[in-house]
Structure 1
């Protein structure tokens, strides 16, 4: 084992490599993801402290009136205890990783990927990225569908930095922005924003922001002062599904 081989491996040249292979590339939030991590030894033996998997997503944060694209983990899982990978050796580690129920869906600008990393002392840590498509849960899909059936069109979906008024356990929240194009809310609202704060298989905690349309001098003043919006905390369960449209109509109407 040459000294220079060790030095090169510490910079990632001729060192260990990692490749994650997922069973599929499309999932529904809450699914169990299965696959295997393949580790390939390099030109020198290396001690692997750990292998970790992270599910990351992109979001937009604002600093000093400038917007930046950042990323955050919605899940992190360690796969193994320390081991040594020999020269040219291959190790395969199968895994199961539960995708959180509140993983953002991959719509609009939102991207979600599985990051695999090796922690190697005194060396550049190898990484692997695998992008996935994430579909909404059945309950979330039903809520979004009912909003559209009320005459709203989905205009934009993105993940934004969570403000202090939003109690998200992530540094971001995914926002679904709708505009009224037909029905009773057309001409009465500028837009409707919906945010999923937390989810389980049976329930969802939402924030609905109702942006009223300016009418007259008072309405324009309210819009200028940013008091033409109401933020409503809503809890919806699967038991609400038969009357979901009526419930959403009542909530929105009460804050117009």
Structure 2
């Protein structure tokens, strides 16, 4: 499957660039493959480079307010300097590695509301940098992530939305300057206790750290308090009954705070 973008760069008569992905579907720690095609305009130019950047929308908290910004979290040059004559075509194949902490955008073939991730192609000519629009990519969960998300759905939690927040989680090793929160409405058995459950994955090649946060009802403890933090090995994730395990953790954590009998 190819996802294409064609646009004019460096002026009306300058070179044009088209980025073609072999497949826009991927997983954290995986890769995207494709090629960048550059076609010369009506005059010769020397291009400094063509680069690709992996970007997402990130929420940044500043004082009492918050705003969204675009954050690049992966970058790869696909060419060095080269000359492009009028009408000449230059093809540059690429293989773009995704960080293990790449946020998810899709679950069971459905987009996660609030999420956008894409590849942006950058062309530099004579110190003038042109950045194009995003070529969207679909980031699907790893098997370990899918097991835990599926367990929550089986418990009756309902997906609400997802977002990416700039910052670092206390006590969790991160390689990226942000983390994704996947937010769920409570299962019926918890509806009178919490407003919302958020799941955070900080993933590596062998294991992932999972953080659970809640928005409370009744003002007993701070919204967003992490009351569950555990590590899951990719190789052994299937050995656990995750619906039962998550239900037990939730009940124990809420019981300790006097919110669940």
TM range (shorter): 0.7 to 0.9
- Work out whether residues 214 and 223 of structure 2, in 8 Å CA contact, stay in contact via their aligned partners in 1: no
Q: Assess if the C-alpha contact under 8 Å between 1:47 and 1:83 holds in 2.
A: yes
Distance 2:225 2:9 in 1: 55
CA contact (8 A) 2:9 2:15 kept: no
Which deviations, in whole Å up to 9, do the C-alpha atoms of 1:106-161 show, x marking residues without a partner? Answer: 21111011111122224343535311222111211111111222232222211122
For residues 241 and 10 of structure 1, do their structure 2 counterparts lie closer, same or farther at Cα, with a shift above 3 Å needed?
A: closer
Matching residue of 2:251: 253
- The answer to whether the Cα contact below 8 Å between 2:216 and 2:223 also exists between their aligned partners in 1 is no
CA separation in 2, counterparts of 1:126 and 1:115? Answer: 7
Match of 1:156 among 153, 157, 161: 161
Aligned pairs (5 A) from 1:120-139: 120-125=125-130, 127=132, 129-139=134-144
> Is the CA contact (8 Å cut-off) linking 2:14 and 2:42 kept in structure 1?
yes
**Alpha-carbon distance, 1:228 to partner:** 8.6
Q: Please say if 1:182 is aligned against 2:188.
A: yes
Q: CA deviation at 1:252?
A: 2.3
Q: CA deviation at 1:47?
A: 1.6
Aligned partners of 2:46 and 2:83 also within 8 Å: yes
Equivalent-residue separation in structure 1 for 2:228 and 2:93 (angstroms): 44
**Counterparts of 1:88 and 1:48, CA distance in 2:** 14
Q: Given the superposition, is the C-alpha separation of residues 158 and 228 from structure 1 closer, same or farther in structure 2, using an over 3 Å criterion? A: closer
Q: Deviations over 1:177-228 (max 9, x none)?
A: 1232334x4433332211112233x4211111144543xxxxx4x34xx279
The question of whether the paired residues in 2 share the 8 Å contact of 1:12 and 1:126 is answered with: no
Q: Structure 1 unaligned runs (5+)?
A: 1-8, 215-219
Report the CA distance between 1:167 and its aligned residue. Answer: 5.1
Mapped to 1, the partners of 2:226 and 2:9 lie a distance apart of 55
Distance 2:224 2:37 in 1: 54
Superposition CA RMSD, Å: 2.6
Q: 3-state DSSP class of the match of 1:254?
A: helix
Total equivalences in the alignment = 238
Q: Does 2:166 match 1:169? A: no
- Asked whether the equivalents of residues 20 and 128 of structure 1 are also in contact (C-alpha less than 8 Å), the reply is no
1:146 matched to 2:151? The reply is: yes
> Are positions 1:208 and 2:206 aligned together?
no
Structure 1 Cα separation of the partners of residues 103 and 225 of structure 2: 24
Structure 2 vs 1, CA of residues 91 and 205 (structure 1 numbering), >3 Å: closer, same or farther?
same
Cα separation, 1, equivalents of 2:78 and 2:60 = 31
| TM-score, with length taken from structure 2 | 0.80
Bigger Rg over Cα: 1
2:232 aligns to what?
236
- Kindly state the Cα deviation for residue 60 of structure 1 after the two structures are TM-superposed: 1.6
Q: Which stretch of structure 1 is more off in the superposition, 51-60 or 62-71?
A: 62-71
CA contact (8 A) 1:53 1:115 kept: yes
For normalisation by structure 1, the TM-score amounts to 0.81
